[in-house]
Structure 1
Amino acid sequence: MTTDDLVIRLARDAGPVRRGAVGRRLGLGIAAGAVVSAMLLILWLGPRDDLGTAVQRASYWIKWGYTLSLSAAALALTVQLARPDSDRLRGLWLTAIPVVLLAVVGLLELANTPRSDWMAMWLGRTWMACPWLVLLFAIPIFGGLLWSFRRLAPTRLRAAGAAAGFTAGAFAASVYCLHCPEVSAIFVLTWYSLGILLATLLGSVLGPRLLRW
């Protein structure tokens, strides 16, 4: 039996795939992982004490807007890479928009802050822990995405793993916002992004091993 014959036999009885099925499958995995991450955060670290007051400030929504917009852009890439026909990625440039916008906000903050306070604004109180906590909370979400990929057919395994790690890291950063007391844009741009990058790198390493089918 030739490869073409095998493909024809496998596809003969296959019904049409519903529109948006890949996105729904990935969304289910992300949601399940995010619930686990949120429970871990609440039970271990707890939400920030002033969360009710924080959500009334623009700085909180700028931070959350950054992580959620990165999450949306990363998910769009993951949906494409979950398919076998992912030779050309569309919309990769969209991931740069949240970064550029937050960088502009950060520069405006620095311009309105005395130079002597710049280092404190950049490091905050939790810079050493922040990236690693984002990575930690990304693990359950990454696991949910691996479950989703079991019913999908990625062919670019390293890229798909990196996209899954990127998505998991961005959603984990959104969960971490519930606890993190830091508000400066330059802090978020540096240390949140580093945590997301660590999750992306981890995904790229694990992708070829865990997404093989």
Structure 2
Amino acid sequence: MTTDELIAALARSSDKAGPKRLYRRIEIALVLGFLVGLVLLKVTMGFRPDIGVAAPMVALKAGFSALIATFAGGLALRLARPLGDRGQLIVRLWLPLIILALAALAIGAVTLLTMAPGERFAAFMGNGFPWCIFLIPLFGLPTALLLVWALREAAPTRLTLAGAAVGALSGGMGAMVYAMFCSVDSVTFVTIWYVVGIGLAAALGAILGTRLLRW
């Protein structure tokens, strides 16, 4: 390869992995992932029957999930780029998301304690076992797969952490989808079990990120 050919190849590579291209791919991944998740919900479980009447509560649950997804999205964008050995920066990047999750769990616990003893179990467990902890990662799976496609070009170096961020982001998107089905509107249920479901998605992302995000 001549010098001119090398320069041309590097220029093409830079354009290919440029910020605008990366942002565009992530936007596509989020929009398509959310739409596919909605279709998956529609054909498997359906929307809650009273979704029209319950629209304000559905919006609140979806908004809470979107807030977590927003924090996780900023983290995923930063971890998509090479970081090197910068431990303090990584801690600072994760801190807002961790604080948000802990705050949500604390709100759920405090709300539960303020209830009458006879109401606590129903508020905490909803209609039975909180299947949302598994369904949230499931409905976020289309977003996760598309985000892997989007981020592979960006050359992340902290694959486990980047995978966890992708998992948290896709989990937040999955929780937004699941909110369209979930008939439990208890603050305690949402702030605790939705966070657990998103956390499970982040854990799965951390485990799989080493393989899937390798470039």
Same fold per superposition (TM over 0.5) = yes
Check whether the contact 1:162–1:203 (CA below 8 A) recurs between aligned residues.
yes
Q: How does 1:9-24 map to 2 (within 5 A)?
A: 11=10, 20-24=20-24
- The aligned counterpart of 2:80 is 82
For structure 2, the 5+ residue unaligned runs are 1-5
Counterpart-to-counterpart distance in 1, 2:135 and 2:101: 20
Identify the residue that residue 208 of structure 2 maps to in structure 1: 206
* Matched AA of 1:26: I
**Superposition CA RMSD, Å:** 2.6
Equivalent residues in 2 for 1:103-182, closer than 5 Å: 103=105, 105-106=107-108, 109-110=111-112, 113-182=115-184
Distance 1:206 1:51 in 2: 35
Shift of 1:62: 3.4
TM score, norm. by length of structure 2? 0.83
SS in 1 for 2:49: coil
**TM-aligned CA deviation for residue 194 of structure 1:** 1.4
Q: TM-score, normalised by structure 1?
A: 0.84
Contact 1:46 1:179 in 2 (8 A): yes
Question: Compared with structure 1, are the counterparts of its residues 13 and 179 closer, same or farther at alpha carbon in structure 2 (3 Å cutoff)?
Answer: closer
Runs of 4+ in 1 over 4 A off after TM superposition: 7-10, 12-21
Point out the more displaced range, 184-193 or 164-173.
Answer: 184-193
Matches of 2:208 and 2:109, distance apart in 1? 36
Greater per-residue helix proportion: 2
CA distance change for structure 1 residues 196 and 15 in 2, over 3 Å: closer, same or farther?
A: closer
Q: Which amino acid is 2:115 matched to?
A: T
Per-residue deviation, 1:209: 0.8
Shift of 1:205: 0.8
Secondary structure of the structure 1 residue equivalent to 2:83: coil
Matched with 2:34 is 34
Tell me, yes or no, if the aligned pair for 1:22 and 1:82 is still in contact at 8 Å.
no
**Alignment partners' CA distance in 2, 1:180 and 1:12:** 49
Contact kept in structure 1, 2:132 and 2:194, CA below 8 Å: yes
Change (3 A) 1:43 1:24: same
Q: Which moved more, 1:29-38 or 1:159-168?
A: 29-38
Unaligned 5+ residue runs, structure 1? 1-6
CA distance, structure 2, for counterparts of residue 126 and residue 146 of structure 1: 34
Trace 1:47-86 onto structure 2 (pairs within 5 A). Answer: 47-56=47-56, 59-85=57-83
**Alignment identity in percent?**
33
